[in-house]
Amino acid sequence: MSMLVRCAAKVNLCLNIVRRRDDGYHDLESLVTAVSVWDHLEITPVPQFVVEDERGRALGDDNTVWRAARLLATVWCKPLQVRVRLHKRIPTEAGLGGGSSDAAGVLLALRALWGVRWSWRRLLPLAARIGADVPFFLVPTGCAIVKGIGDQVEPIHLPRLWTVLAKPAESMPTKDAFNLWDDEPITVNVNPYALVTALVNGDWVTAQQHAQNAFERLLAARIPQVTNLKQRLLDAGAKIAVMSGSGTTVVGVFTDAHSARRAWERVKLCASWSVVARTVKRGIVVRRGEP
């Protein structure tokens, strides 16, 4: 029995870096939501473990999918006899958490395939060992306030929002973005709880005050297109616009699909990659395929 998995992208509607810890990691606080841009996984029982891309090329042990599967098999003492085929649609080094989403998809799919009755909360420590964004994707609401090094997640319910995601040609590896912050620590005055309340109530003035990202100014100084895309989204009618994660994708939030699509038409030629997406209630969707 194969497992078919959809793994959503995420966007950070606000992100503050609280401090650099003694262990080198960083404590964060952020409002994160899943959006309808999907990677796809096919997980099929086979005699030997393999992770491959959609063309059948093997992916190595540096891939988050590989690491997630190995970790789970070790913890649960299961023979790792599956082929995982990864269909990538989420851009890499874009602040959208694609690799983390794929890892979470493997955790939930293998839990179902092997019939292990662990709750999503019990999976959180394992998820955190793979990557800082992986725990978020286990949340059953598709939205959460995230703290610590990503290991503290509080499920949140938001109304449906429409977004336009726009990425410049330049990317920024997460490690490099944190190095920039270490050299020039910037904190932003955001309250993710206040942002949630503002989004629920349609209070866009307050939402604008809290839709900030501590990485944004640092990256925009080196990649001016971040600021350019943000301003274009605002000029096209976005209620708020903010860079997601460690960049470089900018997300604009709209109240309806028509407004989002109209804005996308105005910004798509200025972006290396762009899409209209809506927020979704689950970041990972697992279903059984044909036997």
Active site residues: 10, 133
150 annotated as ligand-binding: no
Q: Give one DSSP letter per residue of 4-18, joined into a string.
A: EEEEEEEEEEEEEEE
Give Cα separations from 258 to 84, 149, 225, 229, 264 (angstroms): 37, 37, 25, 19, 10
170 annotated as ligand-binding: no
237 annotated as ligand-binding: no
Q: How far apart are CA 18 and CA 29, in angstroms?
A: 7
Q: How far apart are CA 41 and CA 25, in angstroms?
A: 30
91 annotated as ligand-binding: yes
101 annotated as ligand-binding: yes
216 annotated as ligand-binding: no
100 annotated as ligand-binding: yes
105 annotated as ligand-binding: no
What value, to the nearest 5°, has the Cα angle with vertex 233 and ends 36 and 156?
40
Structural contact between residues 11 and 251, judged by C-beta atoms closer than 8 angstroms: yes
Q: Point out the annotated binding site for ATP.
A: 91-101
Q: Point out the annotated binding site.
A: 91-101
